[in-house]
Chain A
């Protein structure tokens, strides 16, 4: 993706916690999204951060540091169904334009 970086692949164990990091270009920043995409399916919206700090939604949390151009998605109590790609995306160049990272493919193993 353009000016947005995240690891390509990660593996974690069922029941564990995993953190997926994302760095982005800080100029023109208007918010950061996380999406989940299962193989062969469309992405689904997980979270949106525009202010610094941690936003918690059940087993999933998302963190943002605007000064560092850094975000992470935290997944707790991993389940096999969490095996998917996780896409980081930032709102840039006006409110309508969202730039996606390549995505992090997470494999959850027993």
Chain B
């Protein structure tokens, strides 16, 4: 079965810390994505990558960066965590283009205190 694995289900970090959220997929998908999900705002795209070492800004990239050194792994980095980055973070991957839906990871609930 197709899988997207996020390294942590729950995380609590302090303001100002550098935070790494890891995502690994085993489907050999070209495209990987990071979203955050907040009540009343839905899923918002932070960054995506369509190939190794390639990245594109999504709708809300400020305060975040990403790394894709290997095809299967896509990392989200919070350079200096702030309380407004408390959220559910969802990683997804997708094969190619067109009719292929996303496969999502189970999410990381990050709390910044």
Report which A residues bind B (CB closer than 8 A): 1-2, 31, 33, 35, 41-45, 48, 50, 87, 89, 95-103
Contact = CB atoms under 8 A, between A and B. Distances in A.
Contact of B99 (A41, A48, A100, A101): A48
19 contacts: A1-B42, A1-B43, A2-B59, A35-B101, A42-B104, A42-B105, A44-B104, A45-B101, A48-B99, A50-B99, A87-B42, A87-B43, A95-B97, A96-B31, A96-B33, A98-B45, A99-B59, A100-B35, A100-B42
Contacts, number: 58
A97 B45 CA distance: 8
B41 A102 contact: yes
Contacts of A43: 43, 90, 102, 104
Interface in B30-84: 31, 33, 35, 40-45, 48, 50, 56, 58-59
B106 A31 contact: no
Contact count band on B: 20 to 34
Given A100-B42, A102-B41, A95 B98 contact: yes
Interface of B: 31, 33, 35, 40-45, 48, 50, 56, 58-59, 90, 94, 97-99, 101-107
B34 to A, nearest CB: 13
Contacts of B48: 96-97
Contacts of B99: 31, 48, 50
